[in-house]
Structure 1
Amino acid sequence: MAHKNEEGRNKPLYMISVAAELTGMHPQTLRVYEQKGLVNPGRSRGNTRLYSQADIERLELIGRLTDEGINLAGVVRILDMREHEEEMEHEIDEMRARVRELEDQVREFKTRERITALAPYEGMTPEKVMRGLLGGKVEGSDAE
């Protein structure tokens, strides 16, 4: 679901005049920020700049940073660090999900191991042992 929200935030919607009004910046300032690589708006078929909600939020952050006296080189560095942090958080989330999967597999393995230890049927797979314990027919044993 977060993926769908992310797509919506990145959808190019606003022409430069609207983006300028939303951010309180002059359109020429937006062009300079684009030229310096601080923002990368989409383009329409007619080559009109179209800013997404994510672009607007990024421009607002740039505005706050420059209002605090940070020059554009500092802004670039802060934005790069912020993007790197977001990438790392995404990677951590993926690793946590993988750890949960592995924990589930370990739990399943330990359960099978306990079942096998409680009902040692030589030469049988854990699945056959479990079927036998649950009342199913067990092939290859005298317990039939």
Structure 2
Amino acid sequence: MTTEEPTFVISVAAELAGMHPQTLRQYDRLGLVTPSRARGKGRRYSRDDVEALREIQRLSRDEGINLAGIRHIIELRSKLKKMERDMQRAARQLIQLQEEADARRSHRVFAAGPAGDVVVVPHGIRLKGRLPEPRPPMRARPILALAPARPALPSKDEAS
């Protein structure tokens, strides 16, 4: 049984958290702790839900934080957990990309063949024979564009 599995009815969850069941209903309406629902729409609380109820009680009683402040704290904690999961996912992706880059660096690449085929050879492997030389790239030839001739402007002597 996992800590996220809904197992407790409201009366048992209230007793475990040291609260009145009406308080749990109010927290559900406020969105502080949202239990899952059974088929008959009865609330079912998990161990994680009971721990959240205890934390709300501690923040309220011991720290003097009102319910609006507790809701804000819960939202911030939720965002923090999401960001931590995103960072872990990004770290795994970075490690994978680094491993792929290392694998690419451990190979030598030779261009060969008239069609520009590429042969990838792991580093440290010697090839028997000789690879054909790659074709030289085609050179761009300058294109001369002839502009229509402009009529010459008359000189100062001719204009007078």
Q: Relative to 1, partners in 2 of residues 1:130 and 1:47: Cα closer, same or farther, differing over 3 Å?
A: closer
Alpha-carbon RMSD: 2.4
> Could you tell me which amino acid in structure 2 is paired with residue 82 of structure 1?
R
Q: In structure 2, how many angstroms separate the alpha carbons of the residues matched to 1:100 and 1:132?
A: 24
Q: In structure 1, how many angstroms separate the alpha carbons of the residues matched to 2:94 and 2:124?
A: 32
Higher RCO (CA-CA < 8 Å; seq separation 6+): 1
Does 2:97 correspond to 1:96?
Answer: no
Counterpart for residue 133 of structure 1: 125
Moved over 2 A (4+): 129-134
Q: In structure 2, how many angstroms separate the alpha carbons of the residues matched to 1:108 and 1:131?
A: 10
Bigger share in strand: 2
Residue 47 of structure 1: CA displacement?
1.8
Query: Percent of counterpart pairs with the same letter?
Result: 38
The total of aligned residue pairs comes to 125
Q: In structure 2, how many angstroms separate the alpha carbons of the residues matched to 1:72 and 1:132?
A: 66
Residue correspondence of structure 1 range 30-41 to structure 2 within 5 A: 30-41=24-35
| Unaligned ranges ≥5, structure 2 | 113-117, 132-160
* TM-score (normalised: structure 2): 0.70
1:56 corresponds, among 50, 59, 65, to 50
Bigger share in helix: 1
8 A contact 2:107–2:123 mirrored in 1: no
Residue correspondence of structure 1 range 1-144 to structure 2 within 5 A: 8-67=2-61, 68-113=63-108, 116=109, 123=112, 125-126=119-120, 129-130=121-122, 133=125, 141-142=129-130
